């Protein structure tokens, strides 16, 4: 725990724990065979928020890195999930799925969501 201030003014500063990064780190440390991120949209989208958006069913590690670096995925939205997925795939050489709660089973079967492969 970090502490700031001195004497009577010492206190712990507010902090944010990134749930996506934490999930990827935990999955790596546990030796997980895969990682599933459940979110409120059924896919990772190219052009999210624009009329021409397109669902991305599959990304390989190289493509996910390139799209993230190009700013395709918003920092307050899908960006942290894709970044955490990249970290997991790099470390474990295993798949990551990103999908909505109602599509978990079909995503794991390869019929929904976005899959990021090594």
Lowest mean pLDDT segment, chosen from 1-10, 42-51, 60-69: 1-10
Nearest to 78 by CA among 42, 103, 108: 42
Residue 11 lies in a domain: no
Q: Please, are residues 30 and 88 in contact by the beta-carbon 8 Å criterion?
A: no
In the predicted structure, residue 61 carries a pLDDT above the cut 80: yes
Question: Based on the structure, what is the number of domains in the chain?
Answer: 1
Residue 9 lies in a domain: no
Distance CA 110, CA 57 (A): 9
pTM here is 0.85
Q: What pLDDT does 1 receive?
A: 56
The CATH number of whichever domain residue 56 belongs to comes to 3.40.1160.10
In the predicted structure, residue 100 carries a pLDDT above the cut 70: yes
Residue 6 lies in a domain: no
């Amino acid at each position: 725990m970090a502490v700031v201030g001195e004497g009577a003014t010492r206190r712990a500063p507010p902090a944010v724990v990134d749930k996506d990064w934490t999930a990827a780190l935990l999955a790596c440390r546990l030796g997980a065979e895969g990682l599933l991120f459940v979110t409120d949209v059924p896919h990772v989208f190219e052009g999210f928020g624009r009329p021409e958006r397109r669902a991305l069913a599959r990304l390989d590690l190289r493509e996910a890195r390139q799209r993230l670096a190009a700013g395709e995925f918003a920092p307050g939205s899908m960006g942290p999930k894709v970044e955490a997925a990249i970290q997991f795939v790099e470390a474990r050489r295993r798949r990551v799925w990103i999908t909505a709660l109602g599509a978990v089973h079909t995503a794991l079967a390869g019929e929904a969501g976005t899959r990021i492969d090594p």
